[in-house]
Amino acid sequence: MIAAKEAKALYDTSDVEAKGLMKSFEPQIIEAAKSGKRWIVITIGSSPTTQNPQPDSVQKRAMELLNELGYVSKWVAQDGDVYIPYGLMDDYGNGPMYVNYGIHIGW
């Protein structure tokens, strides 16, 4: 029986999650390329403007694999304008400011 550490090492080198994440990007890349665009930003999530979101290990590996395929990819900590989520907005339109983050992919 292999040790858990060895099993984790095998899992990490398989890139299953990173390749799955990249596969989810493919339709958006195809659509953007057909529309004459040279890049897109894939939104991963949103966070309060007081935070500085960073990519997790799967997202980092997906960007590395994209670069190996000839794409240019980079993490975008703030994409678009800031906004107040409707569920967090008070009666006067005030609330915490949020911003989207994601991965910029160019070709």
- Supply the pLDDT for residue 58: 93
Q: Are 60 and 15 in contact (CB under 8 A)?
A: no
Report which secondary-structure segment, H or E, holds 14: helix 4-14
Q: Are 67 and 73 in contact (CB under 8 A)?
A: yes
Q: What angle do CA 10, 14, 19 make, to 5 degrees?
A: 155
- Supply the pLDDT for residue 9: 84
The 3-state DSSP class for residue 34 equals helix
Q: What is the pTM of this model?
A: 0.82
- Supply the pLDDT for residue 14: 84
Q: Residue type for 72, please?
A: V
pLDDT per position as a tens digit, 19-61: 999 999 999 999 999 999 999 999 999 999 999 999 998 999 9
Mean pLDDT calculated for residue range 5-22: 89
